Structure 1
Amino acid sequence: MFTQRKALLTLIGVVTLFLVLRSFREPEILGAPGYRPVKGISQEEADRRANPSRKLPPQGRAQRPLGASPSAPLIERLRYQFPYDLEPRFPAYIWQTWKYAPSSYWFEEDLRGLEASWTELHPKFTHEVISDENQRHLIQYLYGSVPDVFEAYDSLPLGVMKADFFRYLVLLARGGIYSDIDTTALKPAHSWLPEELDRSTIGFIVGIEADPDRDDWHDWYSRRLQFCQWTIVSKPGHPILRDMVATITEQALRMKRAGILKVGHMDKTIMEFTGPGAWTDAVFRYFNNPSFFNIKPGDKNITYEDFSHQTTHRKVGDVVVLPITSFSPGVGQMGAGDTDDAMAFVKHNFEGTWKTDPSL
């Protein structure tokens, strides 16, 4: 029955979504005080500044113009719609998702303190908790020019998959910080990087989730070293996100056409489709992509060994990799420090909230 209460809640949801869309202006930006962003540089120049050793196309080679043609490969359409501009600072957005918005009567009380920690430490940021109902409308709005992406999102059979996909989609389109609703901000984001690092050369920040130095690691994790996806920081249009969105979209539509994009029928697990396994692979694909790095014959690929037992920041091209302590403090294993460690920035409370998804 469509009661007066339900009607009121629906109206509140629509108004909230309208305000979110209205907020998509040039936001306050994250970085060192006094920095003035340089706008209007080309994609090639942005990539070159991100990775000074990048192998650029030879002078005089004709370049195929990019456009929004529906017949262009998805990865190129995404690049056209969401170009990567390295110079400006990280947009001051904080994105989170949950079944209900914080204004809802049903928003759990034990999540309010966690959600508030982000606002309290980032008072000048635009902080949005997007409800399940409004996620769909927001993705349809952001990806209206790339309809196959929205089709893939809308076709995913599980809420956890949509939650995974949403974080990549919103960061590709708008940038900023994504963090799961069951995380606590321990330090403001402007302190996550050393002051001496030039923010205009950094476009992406990722943390290590797991570094299990044990023979049975595969019984617990999908990769020997696994990158964290519950907190991600990115400038809009970053190639890692572009690759991840294209890969999920193509796999989802492939399974949909085959009639197997259904619970219990998919040929990929959540971990390998939208979760940490697929995410870790996307990060390593970028590190080893000759389109972005000048990789010579015989050069050793970047692998988990390059980050195992890491205790401080490491910069690879335009990406900063944070140690396990940064986003997983207090886990008591794999070398992670405690929540009072200088490198502890975000605490993940491991509520396993996705396991309560009624569609599972």
Structure 2
Amino acid sequence: MPTLRKAVFAVICLVAFVFLIRSTRPATDIPGVPGYKPVQDIFAEEQELLLNPKKKAKSRQQQLFGPALTAPLRDRLRYQFPYKLEPHFPAYIWQTWKYAPSSSRFDRDLREVEATWTEMNPYFTHQVIGDDTQRHLIEYLYGSMPDVFEAYDSLPLAVMKADFFRYLVLLARGGVYSDIDTRALKPAHYWLPEELDRSTIGFMVGIEADPDRPDWHDWYSRRIQFCQWTIVSKPGHPILRDMVAYITEETLRMKRAGILKVGKMDKTIMEFTGPGAWTDAVFRYFNDPNYFNIVPGEKNVTYEDFSGQTTHRKVGDVVVLPITSFSPGVGQMNAGDTDHPMAFVKHNFDGTWKTDPSL
């Protein structure tokens, strides 16, 4: 009997040791980056309210969502599109263009690259949303948040609406967004290595620019610039929520001030809906104490953590891809060619947004 007790005790100790090791293992491979907080724990109260709708006490749900527009926008977005980390990435591919592929007016030069997304991802739902459909889809997805729809509808340039649309549709539905002038080089399910647990990843973003030159600010908006022509996300991700709230608030601010017009806005496209604002949103997330255990005085996550990156890098629930992944063949900033193992998407840089007649 003593031998049996010792064996049981040894097994219990072993299990406890393994659990301790697993629970203290860092969730990031960037030295010095603070530990990641599971997002579900942050929203435990909201989840409890959803599971117990008959709770009689005046709840936070009642406080936030009694009068539909009295709660802060970010809280309403979080409630409407809750973020769940464990489920699979939705098998959607979203693209936008002036016309749907079924239209005779769809550009012939785009048909071949657009088709690569379906060919490479036959089990995905691939949608190219035409201009005439985008507005109706956003109105449907954000019907309970008229301020978001008002912001989208008020943007004066098609390129701004195209930028905003990608954040809006990914926040609501998740999946892959990629510009219409991109070519899929590898199926989306190959973009993450097999050893990475998908249930711990909710977002993928690629590096667009890593210019190691003193005049980098003459060419790019940020020293490290994240690309937004291809984005992968699970629905409700906090980065997207932050971006949608930022664009909505800035749009309505300028509208109320009477400056939401071409030539009068106090923000450039880059700093309003484009890569500059997008890069800032990603870094805000990496340095947000709501999502990471940040010790006072600890070094922030900065461009230095990603400069020269050549492979996947995981920060919390985000995987950052090197410049080769979404910008192969650019011939600079150490980007590999299109046949590189890390090359996933080829952007043709057609500048299709420059054909916007309102510019």
- TM normalised by structure 1 equals 0.84
- Is 1:264–2:247 an aligned residue pair? no
Question: Take 2:136 and 2:164, find their aligned partners in 1: how far apart are those partners?
Answer: 14
CA contact (8 A) 2:35 2:294 kept: no
CA contact (8 A) 2:74 2:245 kept: yes
Question: Take 2:268 and 2:185, find their aligned partners in 1: how far apart are those partners?
Answer: 32
Amino acid at match of 1:190: H
Which residue pairs with 1:54 in the alignment?
A: 37
Which residue pairs with 1:73 in the alignment?
A: 72
Q: How many residues align?
A: 311
CA distances 1:74-125 after superposition (whole Å, capped 9, x unpaired): 0000000000011100000000000000011110111000000000011111
- Is 1:333–2:316 an aligned residue pair? no
Question: Take 1:241 and 1:63, find their aligned partners in 2: how far apart are those partners?
Answer: 26
Q: Secondary structure at the match of 1:91?
A: coil
Give the Å deviation of 1:357: 0.6
CA distances 1:117-166 after superposition (whole Å, capped 9, x unpaired): 00001111100000011100000000000110000000000000000000
CA contact (8 A) 2:221 2:276 kept: yes
Which residue pairs with 1:317 in the alignment?
A: 316
Which residue pairs with 2:216 in the alignment?
A: 217
Q: Secondary structure at the match of 2:164?
A: helix
> What RMSD in Å do the two structures reach over aligned CA positions?
2.0
Give matches, 1:284-323, under 5 Å.
284-323=283-322
Question: Take 2:339 and 2:59, find their aligned partners in 1: how far apart are those partners?
Answer: 51
- Is 1:347–2:346 an aligned residue pair? yes
Question: Take 1:309 and 1:206, find their aligned partners in 2: how far apart are those partners?
Answer: 16
- TM normalised by structure 2 equals 0.84
Q: Percent identity?
A: 80
Q: Secondary structure at the match of 2:65?
A: coil
Give matches, 1:1-360, under 5 Å.
53-54=36-37, 64-65=60-61, 66-67=64-65, 69-360=68-359
Amino acid at match of 1:149: V
Amino acid at match of 1:178: Y
Q: Secondary structure at the match of 1:90?
A: coil
Structure 1 alignment gaps of length 5 or more: 1-48
CA distances 1:156-196 after superposition (whole Å, capped 9, x unpaired): 00000000000000000000000000000000011000100
Question: Take 2:226 and 2:319, find their aligned partners in 1: how far apart are those partners?
Answer: 12
Which residue pairs with 1:41 in the alignment?
A: none
CA distances 1:263-291 after superposition (whole Å, capped 9, x unpaired): 00000000000000000000000000000
Give the Å deviation of 1:52: 5.9
Question: Take 1:348 and 1:321, find their aligned partners in 2: how far apart are those partners?
Answer: 18
CA contact (8 A) 2:326 2:346 kept: yes
- Cα distance change, pair 52–215 in 1 and its aligned pair in 2 (3 A): closer
Question: Take 1:195 and 1:52, find their aligned partners in 2: how far apart are those partners?
Answer: 23
Give the Å deviation of 1:70: 1.6
Question: Take 1:238 and 1:282, find their aligned partners in 2: how far apart are those partners?
Answer: 12
Q: Secondary structure at the match of 2:111?
A: helix
Amino acid at match of 1:206: V
Give the Å deviation of 1:64: 3.8
Question: Take 1:63 and 1:271, find their aligned partners in 2: how far apart are those partners?
Answer: 40
Question: Take 1:349 and 1:150, find their aligned partners in 2: how far apart are those partners?
Answer: 31
Q: Which has the higher helix share?
A: 2
Give the Å deviation of 1:54: 2.5
Question: Take 1:131 and 1:359, find their aligned partners in 2: how far apart are those partners?
Answer: 17
CA distances 1:274-325 after superposition (whole Å, capped 9, x unpaired): 0000000000000000000000111100000000000000000000000000
CA distances 1:227-263 after superposition (whole Å, capped 9, x unpaired): 0000000000000000000000000000000000000
CA contact (8 A) 2:225 2:275 kept: yes
